[in-house]
Every structure is written in structure tokens, then in C-alpha cells.
Chain A
Amino acid sequence: MTHAYTPGLRIFERTKVASHRVLPLLGDVVVKKGDALKAEDIVAKTHLPGKVHAINAVNRLGIQPKDLREYMLKKEGDLVQKDEIIAETKPWVKMLKTVLLSPITGTIETISNVTGQVLLRESPRPIQVFAYIDGAVIEVTEKEGVVMETTATFIQGIFGVGGETVGELAIAVDKPGDILTAERIQPIHKDKIIVGGAFIQHDVIDKAKKVGVKGIIVGGFNDEDLRKLLGYDLGVAITGSEEIGITLIITEGFGQIHMAQRTFELLKSRSGAKTSMNGATQIRAGVVRPEIIIPYPGKASGEEMEKPVDRGMEVGDSVRVIRVPYFGRIGKIKALPFSPKTIETEATVRVLDVEFPDGSTATVPRTNVEMIET
């Protein structure tokens, strides 16, 4: 059978992680290859072009578009101050003079003798790109950005909201099946990234925000609470830019679902470490999953980040079922029957048999499992 590979979420205890830190427009890279940086350090900066304002100059001045240039006191590219006169009429009687003031401080972009419009552009706005992870610069692309590299624990979540944040990792529950309640969130969690178990509710996220928690990692939560958190129903799963005052990553899915034991244990083993996380998720072609990066201090080397395995599933591989009725259960592939089988819906599909740790088995469609890559 050809490649029916089912990629899973990636979880590594120790691996090399590279992060591309790129400016949205060309600018200046302020670090050099080999520099060891902290997450908070600036790596590149540039200026975003300012907003464009249009003034219908000919209407204001009562002239024809073709004559506009004659009345302009400034030309394209000139700097102007807010309320500075940029054009004026030249009547015989000075009292009848009409002037055109610049609504902004910026530059004259275009003067159109067809539309009679003058376009002005505000001054550029500075923006900076941070290192985001503690690590070293391994590559510099002139004017564009850098690639940061570190050796870290790397965990992908299934869905997240909120952008990049950095803080110390703290475990707020005892077991992966625990619910993260408001009582478990304490003032000591200020500026930290906290790990919950199976579930969190909206009011608890609110409490975390009040305490000053930077990020939350939890097994699952309800869509109803997502709506409350965002203030709207999330339609298209492109997240990361919302300003909600906190970053949230769920590792398993929607509903109350135990965080995978391995994920929980791994996070627990790194408790207290400086952690970078990003809730940005894009569920489109070229899926982007939220990430948790916990660098190891010093220049320890890790194994190369593995590429997804481009091979068919094999008997004995660990898989997680990702759809009801066995949603969230982890087991090992027991058999991969070649011929399609008819399932309860009466659809005839490729299936596999999976054996769960309690010895029970189930037949599930191949598309309803994900491989657990380690």
C-alpha cells in the first residue's frame, strides 16, 4: 500500500529547534551569526510604511484637476507637517485665497492631475522582531531576519489562541486528568506559563489573566468558552493575532480530555524552566500548530528535528484515535487489513485494528488516527 501516512503532533524531549524570525518588510538585522541571545533580545527592526491619506484637493480649492500642480506648494516626496499649507489658490483679492492644509505629518506621495487627489503618507512606524527563544543565531538573511536555534523540549499543541509569549513554566495540577480550577491559580503564577490537566473554563482563564499569568497549557476546553474568550464565534481557524491578554494552548481537543500522559510528564520534568510559547494556529493547507519550546540552558546539543515519517503505518506503531467513539485513546496498531471494510455508517473505508493498553481492541478508519511521533 502506498503512503497513507498520518502525521501526528510532534513531541520531543530534547531536540534542535529552529525559529525563523523575519521582518514583514525589508529592514535591518541587528545581530550577527553566532550571537547567543535571550528571548527578549531584538534581532531585527524596520519601519512599516505609514497610513495613506487622500485629500480631494481640487474640490477644496475649487480648481480643475489638470491645473492642480500649479497650485501645489509641495511636490511628490516632500516632507510636510500637520496643518502646513501644501497648496493654495492665487486670486487677485488675497482675502479670497483658499489654502489646503496637510492633515498629517508625513510625505506627499502622489499628486494626481486626473482625479485631483493628493495622497499623503504618514511617517513610518518602527517595528521590532524579538529572538523569542533563548538560543543562538545560526543564519542571517540580510535585511530580512535571522534563524534562531536552540536545544529544547518541543511540544506541538492541537489548537491555540494568543501570540508569542515567554515565561517560567509552572505545573498547576497534580495529574493530567485534573481540572484546572480557579483555586489552583495563585499569585505566585504571575508572569508564568502554567500547565493544567484535562480542562479549563472561561472564568478560570479570567482569573489567570487577573493574576498576570502569561500562558496556559491544558488538555481541552469548550468551544462555548472559546467564544466567551474571543467575544465571537471563531469561524476560520487562523489564530495568533487576537489580543486577549493571555496565550492558551490545548494539547488534545475540544471538550474535557486528559492531557496525554507523555506530554504532561514532559512538561512536569521541565517545571521552572524558561518557556516560549505561541498559540498561533492555522488549519488550512500548510497547517500551523501552536508550539511550546522549552530551551535547555547552555549549548547542549540535541538530535536533529526529525521530519515527519513519509512511510505507511506499520503494525506496532503507537497511535492516538482522534474521533469519537474512541476519541483521545492511545493504543498500538494490531493489524492493517488491506481490503476496505464497511463501518457503522455503511461507508467502506480503509481501517486498522488498534489495541488499547487495557487489552481491548477496536477497528477504526485509518484517517481517524494520528501517529504518535517520538
Chain B
Amino acid sequence: MDVIIATDCGSTTTKAILIEKKDGAYRQTFRGESPTTVEAPFEDVTRGVLNAFAEVEELSGRKILDGEKIITPARGNVGVDIYVSTSSAGGGLQMMVAGAVKTMTAESAQRAALGAGAIVMDVIASNDQRLPHEKIDRIRHLRPDMILLSGGTDGGTVTHVVELAEYISAANPRPRLGMTFQLPVIYAGNKDVREKIKEILSEKTSLTITENIRPTLERENLFPARQEIQKLFLEHVMAQAPGYKKLMSWTGAPIMPTPGAVGLIMQTIARKDAINVVGVDIGGATTDVFSVYGEIFNRTVSANLGMSYSISNVLAEAGLENILRWVPFDIEESDLRNRIKNKMIRPTTIPQTLEELKIEQAISREALRLSFEQHKSLAVGLKGVQRERDISEAFKQEVTGETLVDMLKLDLLVGSGGVLSHAPRRSQALVMMIDAFQPEGITRLAVDSIFMMPHLGVLSTVNEQAATEVFVKDCLIHLGTCVSLVKGSIGKFKEKCISCKITMPDGKKIEESLPYGGLRVFPLGIDQSAEIEIVPAKNFDVGAGRGKPVIKKVFGGVVGIVIDTRGRPITLAKDKVSRVEQLQRWAKAIDAYPD
């Protein structure tokens, strides 16, 4: 397999990349894009795919198409060996989940659906405080692509699960696409209730039964449900979307939901280097956050946080004040509001002036921050688990269901999506991610070069070697390493904060004392590493405890080592003049914008 073409059919744009084996190694060589054509008047996704291919053909000189047929296999400069694709067009996979207890089986069901790449429209639980008719109305009106029904551990509650099935049956829900077929429902709950569920739902819905996602309170078993979701996504949802039957006949591997493919790549990165990874993919309509801590993978999607279609919702959710705090110049509130709405109504436009770019990057910080907060609240340990505690634990008052995302244990933060991948300067992507995620201690940062993680995710299912090689060489751009204070470290501006000693790869030593409240960059190349010794002042902590030094090997990137002494959380000045001065100082320190 020497020549691979891959597409991601997004809600607005279909992006194609060409991968070729050159001198024994796979490299991403050309890229093309075109508007997605799922909707009227075209209503055929393959039109956009063919247009994106045509652009790749034009740029690469390789003939890929014979009319509307993909030429396979590749011979010389003609044809490709395989075509693979991901898709989030038409709104992606939209699901509703139901479970007996909101914080237990319903939450597990939510994690199963999210991990499969779905947008969860609503979570119905027996104890969600809504009245039965409200739940039924909700199920009927939302028109999801499918429903995941869970509830009860094996041998556990029966009535709550049956009750949920009765509500689904009473709602008689219809799928979003295709007027005539039945809504797919996956049952992944108490195995003792399967027969009863069949009785209630098999006539009105297209029912599939799989293993319980929560067989015991202590164990979550999400994999079978996730696989079932992806299978039904292809069989029902994709097959109903315009042009997908044809598209499916072209691809050499099953089409994956875009976030499902990105999730695969994130897990591959974490597994390859045995590290903890947090990744984000910020799109126009939604923002996905992924985390891999040890063996535990979590994904969340913030369905209405994004930089174009959903930009106005970022304003609504974050509030104007929170966006304004990141804008490094004075702007009238009403002007900012109108600009955000104008981007919302014309979502495909891009900033032409530097001022507009700075505004979009300010908004992105809030979109990322909010999405990450949502992720942290769902990426939690299992709730309701009985734990045996020894006496020391009893004093710690630890509770079950705490977030698994420990910023101090985070090794790598990866950003993807237009506003990060296409930021004119990589330092802008770096500072957006630092401001939004506020990493603590020592963390590496990287971005997806041109947005190709989905393509590589689906490719990894058929050719892991090609996916990994391209990922390392062409996709992941290391930005550098951020060294920061940990949560609770707050000081006064210019107060003595940390001193650092860096031993550069050539043996040169840099020693500097850095006051509180700033950013400092030390260039260190992509393939380089250095040793850093950081000694915090007695009131500050960089991960080892207050006043305790840290010595560690750090890695370079296109920006280098960034030492962030702005405290955690980053505190911005209250008055406008000082805040603008503060933001400009930080931007200058990191060389984010032209003078």
C-alpha cells in the first residue's frame, strides 16, 4: 500500500489528504478541500469528496479519478491504493442516552456514547427530577439518530429500566433521518431484563441488545456498547444520509465518526510513549476533548461550543466579561457583540485584520476553557462504588467520582481544529492552549499541523504503520514545554517567584530569576531536549511542593521552553487599562503578534 487518499467530511468542509510512501516512509504530501455537499441543493456527500479529490489531483499532478470513479490500485502517478474516510457531516451522530440513576448507569451510558463519537442530546434518568410526560415529550421532540438504554447492574433494578423502556415506547420516537425506518435503540443494561425490554420495544423500534455497560457498580464495560453504536451508525445513520451509500462503497475501511477517529489517535499517542494525554479538537460547531490517563480513555463533546456556527453560544455561556478579559485592546461591548454575531451568521469568513484575529483568539480561549471544564466533570471515577478504606484514607475524606484529569500528571496537551492548527503563528496556538487549559508543573504542548488527526485515526484501522509515520513526521507539531506554577499559587506582580537553571543541548547553561506575573520563552528546537532545574520561592510551587525544587528533562518545539509565572488560576487585572497592558506584555513575551 503506497498511495492513500483520506477524507474527513465535516459539517462545512470536506478535507482530503494524500499520503504517499517515499523512500520507504509514508508522508502526507498534498491536501485539498471543498464545501461539504450533504445538504440541499446537492444532497450527495460524494460531490464534495470528488471536488476535494480534484483539488488534490490538481496540486499533486496525480490522476485519482476516472470520471467519478477512484482509480485503484496506484501505478506510477495514476490512482491510489486505498481510500478511507471519517464523517461528521449532517451534524454527526446525535444520540440520546437513558439510565436508571443519573450519576451511575446514566453517566456510564453517556461516556459510552461520547467515546463512540456521538453528541449526547440529552440524558434521561429515573431520578432526573423531570416528570414522566416531560421525559416522553423530550424523547419525542429531540429525534435522535439512536438511543442507548442502560440501567441496573446485572441482577439489580428491574422496575427503573422497564419504566425507561415504557417511556421510550410511549414517545414512539422517530429518527432524524429517513421518515420510514425505525429508530435504532441499543439496550445495554441489566441482563435479567432483556426479555421484558424486547417485549416493550421490539415492535416500535429497531432494538439491539448488547452487554451491560455497568455489570457491577465497580466495573464499567463500555466497549461492546461503543462497538454497537459505531456499527449502527454505519448501518442506519450513514446509510440514510445523502450519498453515503455510494461513499461507503468507495472506502476500503468502514467510515468512522470524526471524533471516534480522533479518539483512536489520542489513545495511540498515549500508548506509544506511555504518557497521559489531553487533546482538544475545536471546530466550528463543536469542541471535543479527549483524555487518556493510564488505561482510561474519556471523550466529551461540547455540542454548542465552537468558533463559527456556535461562536455566539460561547458568548452566551461564558458571558461577555469573560471574553473581554482576553481581548488585548479596548473595544466597545456592543461592537464586540455585533462582531461575534456577524461571524455566527457568516460562519465561513476568516479574520482579515489583526484586531479581528485577536478577538477570535480571545473567544477561543473561553470555548476551550468551557469545554475542558465540561470534560473534567464527566471524566471521573465511577460513582456509587463502595470502597474499603484504611485509616489514613478515612482522614483524607476522598470521595468517589472525582475527576481523573490531574493537571500535574498531564504529560502532553494536543490541540487540533482550525483556530489552533491554522493560527498564523504557532506561538498563538501555544498561548491560547496555556491560557485555556492552564497546565500545571511541566507539560509538553503540540498541535495538529493541518488538521489530519481524523484521517490518520481511520487510517490506523487498516494500516497502523502509515498512520503512525505520518502522525510523527507531518501531523504532530511540537510547540515546546510549559513550566508553570500549580493551582493555588497566587502572588503579587513582580514578586520574586522562581529561579531556573537550564542546561542547553550544547552544554551552555542559562540561569535566570523570574518574577511573578509573566511569561518567558527560551528557544529550544523541535528535536532537542534540555535539563531544567526550577527553584520556586517559598510561597510558590511548581509541582514538588512549596519552595521545593524540580529537576527535569524538557523537550523543545517550534516555540521552545515557556516559563509561566502568572499563577494558577491566571489572574487578570480588574481595570481595563492594566489588563490590556498585561495581555500586551504577555503577547510580546511570546512573540504572538507582529508589532
Contact = CB atoms under 8 A, between A and B. Distances in A.
Interface of A: 1-3, 5-6, 49, 51-54, 65, 109-110, 112, 114-117, 119, 121, 158-159, 222-224, 226, 232-237, 253-255, 281, 283-287, 307-308, 310, 322-325, 327, 343-347, 349, 364-365, 367-368, 370
Contacts of B397: none
B58 A285 contact: no
A237 B345 CA distance: 8
Nearest to B162: A114
A2 B55 contact: yes
A284 to B, nearest CB: 6
30 contacts: A2-B54, A2-B55, A115-B163, A117-B132, A117-B166, A119-B166, A159-B341, A222-B334, A224-B337, A232-B316, A235-B312, A236-B310, A236-B312, A237-B312, A237-B344, A253-B345, A254-B339, A254-B345, A283-B345, A284-B285, A286-B39, A286-B90, A322-B342, A322-B346, A323-B351, A324-B339, A345-B354, A346-B425, A365-B352, A367-B350
> For B34, B54, B304, B341, which residue has the most chain A Cβ atoms within 10 angstroms?
B341
Interface residues of B, number: 67
Interface in B53-68: 54-55, 58
Contacts of A284: 11, 91, 285, 309
A285 B352 contact: no
B350 A2 contact: no
Given A222-B338, A286-B90, A345-B354, 7 more contacts: A117-B166, A159-B345, A232-B316, A237-B312, A255-B338, A322-B349, A324-B353
A232 B313 CA distance: 11
> For B304, B335, B337, which residue has the most chain A Cβ atoms within 10 angstroms?
B337
Interface in B24-57: 32, 34-36, 38-42, 51, 54-55
A237 B341 CA distance: 9
Interface of B: 11-12, 32, 34-36, 38-42, 51, 54-55, 58, 89-91, 132-133, 136-137, 158-159, 162-163, 166, 169-172, 196, 285, 304, 309-310, 312-313, 315-317, 333-335, 337-342, 344-354, 356-357, 422, 424-425, 594
B99 to A, nearest CB: 16
Nearest to B131: A54
Contacts of B39: 285-287
Nearest to B159: A115
Given A2-B51, A235-B313, A284-B91, A347 B350 contact: yes
A255 B338 CA distance: 6
A323 B51 CA distance: 26
B58 A2 contact: yes
A325 B162 contact: no
Given A2-B51, A5-B35, A235-B304, A115 B166 contact: yes
B313 A349 contact: no
Given A236-B312, A285-B36, A367-B348, A254 B425 contact: no
A232 B352 CA distance: 30
Nearest to B11: A285
A6 B12 CA distance: 12
Contacts of B172: 49
A252 to B, nearest CB: 10
A147 B372 CA distance: 46
